[in-house]
Structure 1
Amino acid sequence: MKIAFYGSSLVSAYWNGAATYYRGLLRALAEKGYDITFYEPDVYDRQKNRDIDPPEWCKVVVYEGNVESLKRATEQAATADVVVKASGVGFEDDFLLEQLLRDARPEALKIFWDVDAPATLAEVRGAPDHPLRGALAKIDMVLTYGGGDPVVDAYRFIGAQECIPIYNALDPQTHQPVPAEPRFTADLGFLGNRLPDREARVEEFFLDPASRLSDQTFLLGGSGWQDKPMSQNVNYIGHVSTRDHNAFNVTPKAVLNISRASMAENGFSPATRVFEAAGAGGCLITDYWEGIELFLKPDEEVLVARDGRDVADILAGLSQERAKEIGQRALQRVVAEHTYAHRAETVDLLFRRHAENLEAAE
């Protein structure tokens, strides 16, 4: 079965938080026998900042950031059994969706795969004439990487025939325990780019605890924080390549996950970072969001903070021994239940069910 997948980027994680999700899930689907081509535009300097080579398990087609190149790319959808348009591709997203629905074969399974459903839904709610509203009638299913019932209900309300969450997970081939690296030594580490929907929560959950705990060290990685006021015990190291994420997650006593505000409000939206940290055996402190117990058990496999004071209290009372125990329990849980191989089983069933329904209708 051939899949034509149109997304932001598979080969570059530069300003592209969906890269890990794409890689883990599509690799798992390829291992199940799917023939996958990933189409991505050459925008935002992603191609200049590749962190992996095109993989053997997926063909990667990079098209130029202009309309003519986009049209040539979407024409290739006519050869696919499954056509996927992801959210947030980054170049002419609405036009890309329109072209794909035009170029895909009538019998092909057509999917809108939303990797940031809260943002997409907020945009659609504010625009009664949003192109996605009209397109949903031609789309067979919406898949999302999180959101639970609030997102499912919202998508059905605006016209989706079917909406199913396919959650983030662990890719054991890229995220696993590694030796600690001295450059990442800290009591608490946080890795994330500076984004408007996240900044206030980073202040509350990371920078404020740092100012309270002057005797502890904090490590901040990610782009855009260079002019952000922070206490002297915060070591800002800028962009951290994906090849260093395992060491970043396992070296500090604990690492912090901070959901964007919209993700926390919807719940059931574990960030990629949750599984990356657990997969490395790191001790994770996360902000609270509804549904976390479906993925990791609070106080045993993950530590949960409702505000910055909680983070400070947890960190002040956390021993190295307990941190290691929590990290090991989290690793065991995600390997047993939350890998991309598990997620691919669900996706494979959805694809096969659609194919069976088509055959029955003929």
Structure 2
Amino acid sequence: MSGTDETQIVTLASVPGQGKTTTALLLERHFRGQGMRVACLQMNKGQYDVAHYLANGCDHYTIPLEATKNRVAFGAWVPRGYDLCTFEVTCPYSPFGAPYLSPLERYNEIVAFDSSQDWRTCVRNRMKRYWKQRPKDPEIDIFALWDMVHAKEVQRVVTKTPGALAGPCVDTALSLRHPEQFAYDTIKPRMTLPRSDASAMAVGAFPAEFWSIFPRLRWYRFDYASFLEEYRHGKCDVAIIGACLNERLKIRDRPGIRTVFCYQPSVYHNLARRPRDLPLKDDFREIMSAIRDRPVGGPICTDGSAFSGYNNRFWTYQPYPDREMIWQEENIVFCNGWIMPQYLIRDGFLEVA
């Protein structure tokens, strides 16, 4: 850490499919090889991508939407004690991606080699697929936030290149070129997580902050069969049933573990997921203004719209609209979405001695 308690942050932003996560992992490996402690930050994407970071032994942290209000709020979710942070932002041209760039002055735009000659067309096509725009929906302004995002200091990083380029890039052999040319910003970290000696086990995708809280945690990756074999015996203090894409997966056992955090409530309950074909009817700029100006937990978009799953007290996507964001049945705490451990501690569902 510097004398000003500020830490360098390398922000990587782009639409899906351009190589952000791969670039972040290569940067983490590069700087860790130089003896630096690196924290890998990511905007709240729920279960997606976190397993890639965990599998590579990275220290991963989720930045929630509420952290985008200003630099102080952002720093409250950045962990102390690291020399450098990488920060991955998906869809910076959307109302739920652009806010993450607001507290920062510069970032790196990740562009795949094949897309680099006609980047705006690539962005338009990717955005329409990402939001699953229906033919009967009113045409949305894909580039509503383009000028705002590009008003910052932007360094283009080209990925999937056939060889080395003059600027920062990642080639098809996954070689990181010219990392010194990436755009760097600074942030003042203010987050410290409590630590527990309790034994813990986990499976699937879960907020990696649990690993910081429970250093003795054993992760079974996505091997639910092996996890359940141990889970039935109930010999650990805390168990985490992480999320996966298999909605048909069911668990009958309710062992006597002190506390179970379940991020896939459908393993114990038959629940209806939020429809994926809701209309796109919100103005991107209005959502941005609501996120910036309204208290956390206030409505930020129209009920019944494609973004209405964020209208809850945590501003995190709520997959099962008919259930609370958190509810408890005996020793099992159900998390209806990517509920951060910090929220569980704050609301009394997670006690750390």
- Greater helix share, 1 or 2? 1
The alignment's TM-score, normalised by the length of structure 2, stands at 0.31
- Give the TM-score normalised by the residue count of structure 1: 0.31
